[in-house]
Amino acid sequence: MRNLNSVHLNGLRALEAVGRLGSLQAAAEELGVSIGAVSQQVIKAEAQLDRTIFERTPKGMLATEAGAPLLAALNEGFAHLSRAVALAQRRDDSILTISVAPVFAARWLVYRLDRFAEHHPDINLRMDATMKLVDPALCDVDIGIRVGDGRWPDVKAELLLEQEVFPVCTPSMAERLREPADLLALPAIIDGRAMFGWDVWMRAAGLEGAALETRHVFNDASLCLDAAIAGQGVMLAWQTLAGYALQQGQLVAPFGIRARTGFGHYFVTAHGVREPKKVRDFKAWIRAEMAETLKLFI
């Protein structure tokens, strides 16, 4: 590793950040320095390496043919360093940091946190509600829960629940429904950011090609659920989103027809790292709670 003595580490960090983020400004914001400082570090590193790593273009900093393999290796190397630092910083076994999507946190998890505290009074939860998929090896997050196909690079994904979708509406609205085709007369509440559409359920219900009249479109599933509870129309929901509202009688799921989307809820943990007891305890508790939720759909 003596060849590392010929290049300043800050210069290598600057090269990696610019290569990954595509601009001096973005790299400067991440590194907490000025754009000029990043530019100088890149220039010095190129001089020390005796290679032109970037081509300066109006669209940003583009890797040269010689620079591309170097940047890929630097990205991998700094990722390993980041994992090492994150592991060193995990000292408090009494704090469990979880990363979950805001809708999962608001519509399913928060209602159950008191029961987690009863079962595990020695563990304090810290929740990071975000749509961003995080790599637990690169930050202080211990475990994440995400919806998707489970094929995410550089993390370990373990299936928790296969996602199934079904219509939900108020009990009074459901009184008009006798068969699945009756839904076509109801206004639809649409989640504009959903990874699936009504066609998934329509096929399962024998209504392929049919369409509902759209009333409202939201970019948030939680808002869609609130609109459905308010009687604004029928929405396509899934187990963890609508479970509490169904349990409270605010909504009903007519017909009992559920369709798989091909996605699922997954535990996301650091790849190749032994899970601490607090993570194993949390996963076991979530599975038990999820089993209770699924009883609503039997």
Of 66, 89, 112, the position where a domain reaches its end is 89
**The CATH number of the domain where 48 resides is what?**
1.10.10.10
pTM of the model: 0.71
Rounded to whole angstroms, how far apart are CA atoms 171 and 229? 10
Same domain (yes/no): 75, 175: no
- For 218, counting Cβ atoms within 10 Å of its Cβ (0-12 exposed, 13-18 middle, 19+ buried), the class is middle
Same domain (yes/no): 21, 139: no
Of 58, 89, 120, the position where a domain reaches its end is 89
At residue 217, the pLDDT reads 94
> Per the structure, how many domains does the chain have?
2
Residue 89 has pLDDT above 60, yes or no: no
Give how far Cα 44 sits from Cα of 12, 51, 77, 262, Å: 10, 11, 20, 50
Same domain (yes/no): 76, 196: no
* Residues spanned by the domain of 12: 2-89
Residue 189 has pLDDT above 80, yes or no: yes
Q: Which residue has the tokens 């749509």?
A: 131
Residue with the larger pLDDT of the pair 222 and 7 = 222
Same domain (yes/no): 105, 251: yes
Same domain (yes/no): 144, 17: no
Exposure on the CB side of residue 115, measured as CA atoms within 13 A: 13
At residue 257, the pLDDT reads 93
What is the share, in percent, of the chain residues with pLDDT greater than 70? Answer: 95
Exposure on the CB side of residue 149, measured as CA atoms within 13 A: 6
Task: Give pLDDT tens digits for 42-86.
Answer: 899 888 888 898 888 887 788 888 888 888 888 888 877 776 666
Among 5-9, 156-160, 195-199, 263-267, which is the least confidently predicted range? 5-9
At residue 86, the pLDDT reads 64
Task: Give pLDDT tens digits for 131-173.
Answer: 888 888 878 899 999 999 999 988 999 999 999 999 999 999 9
Residue 199 has pLDDT above 60, yes or no: yes
Task: Give pLDDT tens digits for 10-29.
Answer: 888 888 888 888 888 888 88
Residue with the larger pLDDT of the pair 29 and 6 = 29
Same domain (yes/no): 258, 293: yes
Same domain (yes/no): 79, 100: no
Q: Name 259's Cβ contacts closer than 8 Å, sequence gap at least 6.
A: 164, 165, 166, 200, 201, 203, 204, 205
Same domain (yes/no): 76, 161: no
Same domain (yes/no): 113, 44: no
Give how far Cα 37 sits from Cα of 24, 25, 31, 41, 276, Å: 9, 10, 10, 6, 40
Let me know: does 287 contact 158? Beta carbons within 8 Å.
Answer: no
Of 89, 123, 154, the position where a domain reaches its end is 89
- Average pLDDT estimate for 81-106: 79
- Average pLDDT estimate for 288-298: 88
**The CATH number of the domain where 289 resides is what?**
3.40.190.290
Largest Cα span, the chain: 77
- State the average pLDDT for the chain: 89
Same domain (yes/no): 125, 272: yes
Exposure on the CB side of residue 225, measured as CA atoms within 13 A: 24
Among 150, 151, 156, 149, which Cα is nearest to 135's? Answer: 156
Among 46, 39, 63, which Cα is nearest to 6's? Answer: 46
Same domain (yes/no): 83, 221: no
At residue 53, the pLDDT reads 87
Same domain (yes/no): 223, 149: yes
At residue 3, the pLDDT reads 60
